[in-house]
Amino acid sequence: MDKIIMKNLRFYGYHGVLPEEQEDGQNFIIDLEMYLGLHKAGNSDDIKDTVDYGKVYGIIKEITESNKFRLVEKLAEHISREIMSTYKEIDKVSVTVKKPEAPIDGEFDWVGVQIVRSRNG
């Protein structure tokens, strides 16, 4: 299966369980992989035969910056649902949400979740 990959998309949002996460916000990094057939676009060289990742970026930005979720699982689920409902040609999507500034007492690069959703379960 072919895929379109979007890595390290950066947004500022207000997601988290703690009150300060909901009030002060923090940076989030999102990776997206969209599985679909790209053979037609590869032959036609026409944007209408593929998924416009500029529009996908806009969807992710809107969801991440305009909502407040307690869990990054909810953010990832919301992104996956919106992408799959907007683009019927996508068979499967993988969404990774990273929190590089999670309120954890220790050293780390990021914590987060990855979900994979497909049309056939």
Q: Say whether 99 is catalytic.
A: yes
CB of 97 closer than 8 Å to CB of 30:
yes
Residue entry with tokens 């683009």:
87
Contacts of 49 (CB under 8 A, 6+ apart): 40, 41
DSSP 8-state symbol, 2? -
| Residue among 92, 93, 113 nearest 102 (CA) | 113
Strands 92-99 and 3-13: unpaired
Residue entry with tokens 């037609």:
40
- Please identify which of the residues 3, 7, 98, 99 carries the catalytic annotation: 99
Q: Which residues are catalytic?
A: 99
